[in-house]
Amino acid sequence: MKKTKQGQIQITFHWIYVAIAGAVILLFFVGVVVKQKAVSDEQLSFEVIQIMESIFTAAEVSESTKNTLDISGLANLPFFFSCENGISEFGIQDQSSRVQNDIDPLFSMKTIQAPRLVLWSLPYKLPFKVIDFLFIIPSNMKFIVLGENDFADEFIDTSHDDNILLNIDVTQVNTLSDINPGMSSHIRLVIFDGNTPPNIIPDSLLFTFPDEKVSAVVFRGDNVQYYQKSGASWIADGQSVPLIIVPGERQAAKYAAVFAGDREMYLCGMQKAFTRLKYLSAIYTAKIAEIVEHYSTKTDTICYSEFTSIGRNNIQEVLHYYSIDVNLCNEGIEVLQPQSCVPLMSTAVTLMAMNNDMQNSNCISVY
Amino acid sequence: MSSRNKGQMEMAGLVVIVILITLGILFMAQFALKDEPSKKIFTRKELAASTMAALMKTTVVDCTGGPTQFPQIEGDLLDDCAVWGNEYSQYVCDGQPSCSFLHTKIEELLGETLGVWGKKYHFVSEKVSTGMSVFEEKIEGLNGNCEDRERDTSGDFYLPSGDGLVRSVLYVCE
Amino acid sequence: MKQSKRAQIHMSETIAVLFIFFILVLFGSVFYYKYSEISFKQQQEEMFAKRAIDTTTKTLFLPELLCSKGESGAEQFCVDMTKLRSAETVFNNNKGYYFGMFSYANITVQQIYPEVVDGGVDTWIVYNNLKPDTTKIEPTYFIVTLKDETHQSEGKPSYGFGVVKVEVYS
């Protein structure tokens, strides 16, 4: 009897022991696997972001070119782009891996979830090249142009490319009721000619799109105003922003206004450009000093009499006022007062005209 | 169950565990030992183009004769070499006629840069109509040339000389 | 007595099994740690190489150095000497800003041709930020044209042959 009871107890404890030990070991390995999965996800997002950063660097230096980036393998990962206080940041939502950049202006929507990105780089000139703007355009985003002017025609023209993968979906409509959003995930209305967004949102956009996916940018002369859909109406995104540009084609600041997610992103990108301009103008100031010294020994040339001698039309003086306006612009934009950059436009145009005159006279030009 | 069978079963169980863990370690070992070097293809590709562009544009000092006091390698000296050759060269640079000077100078510049960095290369400049090289001797690196191997090219640089089109190209490889 | 001995033997066997099991787990953990360390070092190497290429790319397209052709845009692989001569001062005075672009690096431009006479300058330091405890340096070389408009011949600028050296520190 005793031996039977002992055997029963022994077997029972044996199996309890096996169950507990097995459970502990299983839990241990399950814990390792779960932790490892989380680490792998972080690792993947880190690698993706690093690769994208490299691609963005290469795309940016490929001036005036478009590139395409296939991210269909990451179609279920939403990317976020933000820019605040002159620092842009991008990464994968809900992941800790992100890249910060306080140098290169990036303009894109605030969140992107698309199979493909079009990366387009344009140089910002004021009037010499300051920096390359990089536009990140999701392939499933639609731009609807209302109104007509030279830039509207240029925008529609440049959006089309022989390579179908580099096309940007841009449609021109006569009235907002003609809008057909199709399968787009984002809609941006680009309005010219002083038209304002209507008081009501078209039915085609009202019910099918969440508010954050529909926005508008209105070009009024040398200013742009951003609007965001809010229910059945438009809400203005802050005050209008001046476009600091010089005459010419492919004005990067205008394209930046079209592709920037909102007013804050646009201003933030422009702030980076003006910061860079501050240092560039110091380089050009030194260059002009060398040019002036060079022509100081050639006083019989038109280059000396017209452009570098003390008096009117002195290139050094023009650049001096330009540098002052650059500094004023930087101070203003840091406190979100972009209107302080407006005087910079006229001095940039004066510099541009003088540079052209110097080139036409076969003199060493500023740029 | 006899104690001997029980013991044998336990031993078998231990052996199974050891085998499983060993297989797992072997599986992980193949990842640890994998070699994945990264190649800087971009640098080599653009290097050939930038080298050629710099070479062709270079302004030469210490030249006499010829219409230009400071001739450029492509626009002036290569043209002079293609049209007149060494015998009737209009330019004399560093005491040499244009073809000899170009051969020496291009070899020197490429040697001081690509050669020092361990690159293999060869420079070709020929008249398109005849396929004949403008230079009597080849211009190639001390480390060797890039014939019959994977290489990067600068792209063709064409010069409409007085004696027909001249095509120049630089090949760079590892 | 016999039962007690059997129980003791049984317990010893169990302890031995557990001991061996934990030894194996320990071996596995050590191996995994070593594997992770190697994988991490490999990743560091790749990131370092990537940084070298990114820095070189940015240097070659710097508006502070690039030659320009008026409204036509920039000349590729060309350094404007009139800008280069002042670049060191400007970059030095604004090191904080350019650190965001280049991090720890040394960027120099050397003139190979025409040779500079004794006492002349043939190397310009564009940017220099040495890391205090550098373990690795990755140099990248690139050949560029050096355009000098203040040394003109018949209205055309002179073009030299130069090397841009970008050293990235780890």
Look up residue A172 and give its amino acid. Answer: Q
Give the strand pairing for A141-146 and A186-191.
parallel
The H or E element containing residue C140 is strand C137-153
Residues of chain A contacting residue C53, judged by C-beta atoms under 8 Å apart: 54
Mean pLDDT of B38-43: 50
Ramachandran area for residue A116 (φ above 0: left; ψ -120 to 50: alpha; else beta) = beta
Q: How many alpha carbons lie under 13 Å from residue C140 in its C-beta half-sphere? A: 27
Residue B59 CA to residue B56 CA, distance in Å, equals 9
**Please, which chains are in contact with A (at least 3 CB pairs closer than 8 A)?**
C
Mean pLDDT of A228-247: 92
Contacts of A28 (CB under 8 A, 6+ apart): none
Residues of chain B contacting residue C34, judged by C-beta atoms under 8 Å apart: 32
How does residue C73 score in pLDDT terms, banded at 50, 70 and 90?
A: confident
The H or E element containing residue A49 is helix A2-61
The answer to whether residue A367 neighbours chain C at the CB level (below 8 Å) is: yes
Query: What's the distance, Cα to Cα, between the start and end of chain B in Å?
Result: 72
Q: How many alpha carbons lie under 13 Å from residue A170 in its C-beta half-sphere? A: 21
pLDDT at A54: 79
Contacts of A140 (CB under 8 A, 6+ apart): A114, A115, A183, A184, A185, A186
Q: Match 């025609």 to its residue by tokens.
A: A153
pLDDT above 60 for A191: yes
Mean pLDDT of A265-293: 96
Percentage of chain C modeled with pLDDT above 70: 99
Residue A137 CA to residue A115 CA, distance in Å, equals 11
Paired tokens of B137: 């001797």
Residue A366 CA to residue C70 CA, distance in Å, equals 8
Burial of residue C135 (number of CB atoms within 10 Å: 0-12, 13-18, 19+): exposed
Average per-residue pLDDT in chain A? 89
pLDDT at B35: 47
Angle between helices C81-93 and C95-102 (to 10 degrees): 100
Residue B25 CA to residue B17 CA, distance in Å, equals 12
Residues of chain C contacting residue A286, judged by C-beta atoms under 8 Å apart: 82-83, 85-86, 89-90
Mean pLDDT of A323-349: 95
DSSP letter for A164, please.
Answer: G
C70 Cα to chain A: minimum distance (Å): 5
pLDDT above 70 for B36: no
Give the strand pairing for A233-236 and B120-127.
unpaired
Residue C15 located in a structural domain: no
- Specify the higher pLDDT residue, A208 or A184: A184
pLDDT above 90 for A144: yes
A301 Cα to chain C: minimum distance (Å): 12
How does residue A197 score in pLDDT terms, banded at 50, 70 and 90?
A: low
pLDDT above 70 for B43: no
Number of residue pairs across A and C with CB atoms under 8 Å? 84
Contact: C28, B24; criterion CB under 8 Å: yes
Look up residue C27 and give its amino acid. Answer: F
Paired tokens of C32: 């995994």
Contact: C68, A279; criterion CB under 8 Å: no
Query: What ipTM, to 2 d.p.?
Result: 0.86
Residue A153 CA to residue A144 CA, distance in Å, equals 13
C56 Cα to chain A: minimum distance (Å): 11
Residues of chain C contacting residue B58, judged by C-beta atoms under 8 Å apart: 113, 145, 159-161
Number of residue pairs across B and C with CB atoms under 8 Å? 99
Chain C residue with CA closest to A295: the answer is C150
Residue range(s) defining the domain that contains residue C127: 37-169
Residue C77 CA to residue C95 CA, distance in Å, equals 24
C34 Cα to chain B: minimum distance (Å): 8
- Specify the higher pLDDT residue, A88 or A58: A88
pLDDT at A12: 84
Domain count, chain C: 1
Q: How far is C-alpha A276 from the geometric centre of its chain's CA atoms? A: 16
pLDDT tens, residue by residue, A35-81: 988 888 887 788 788 888 878 877 777 777 898 988 888 778 899 99
pLDDT above 80 for A207: no
**Please, which chains are in contact with B (at least 3 CB pairs closer than 8 A)?**
C
Residues of chain B whose beta carbon is less than 8 angstroms from a beta carbon of chain C are 3, 10, 14, 17-18, 21, 24-25, 28-29, 31-32, 36, 38, 40, 42-43, 46-47, 49-51, 53-55, 57-61, 68-70, 72, 105, 109, 112-114, 117
Paired tokens of C149: 């408009």
A88 Cα to chain C: minimum distance (Å): 12
pLDDT at C1: 54
Residue C7 located in a structural domain: no
pLDDT tens, residue by residue, C119-168: 888 999 999 999 989 988 989 999 999 999 998 877 889 999 999 999 99
Rounded to whole angstroms, what are the CA distances from B71 to C82, C148, C159? 21, 15, 10
Percentage of chain A modeled with pLDDT above 90: 59
- Longest CA span, chain C: 116
Mutation for B interface: C19, C77, C80, most B CBs within 10 A: C77
Contact: C153, B70; criterion CB under 8 Å: yes
Residues of chain B contacting residue C154, judged by C-beta atoms under 8 Å apart: 68-69
Mean pLDDT of B111-134: 94
pLDDT tens, residue by residue, B65-92: 989 999 999 999 999 999 999 999 999 9
pLDDT at B39: 39
The answer to whether residue C143 neighbours chain B at the CB level (below 8 Å) is: yes
Percentage of chain B modeled with pLDDT above 70: 89
pLDDT at A196: 67
- Specify the higher pLDDT residue, A177 or A109: A109
How does residue A178 score in pLDDT terms, banded at 50, 70 and 90?
A: confident
Residue C164 located in a structural domain: yes
The answer to whether residue A57 neighbours chain C at the CB level (below 8 Å) is: yes
Contact: C100, A275; criterion CB under 8 Å: no
Contact: C87, A367; criterion CB under 8 Å: no
Contacts of B107 (CB under 8 A, 6+ apart): B139
Residues of chain C contacting residue A280, judged by C-beta atoms under 8 Å apart: 63-64
Contact: C149, A364; criterion CB under 8 Å: yes
3-state secondary structure of A68: strand
pLDDT above 50 for A175: yes
Mutation for C interface: B30, B41, B50, B107, most C CBs within 10 A: B50
pLDDT above 80 for B34: no
The answer to whether residue A205 neighbours chain C at the CB level (below 8 Å) is: no
Strand order in the sheet with C66-68: C66-68, C74-80, C137-153, C156-169, C105-113, C123-128
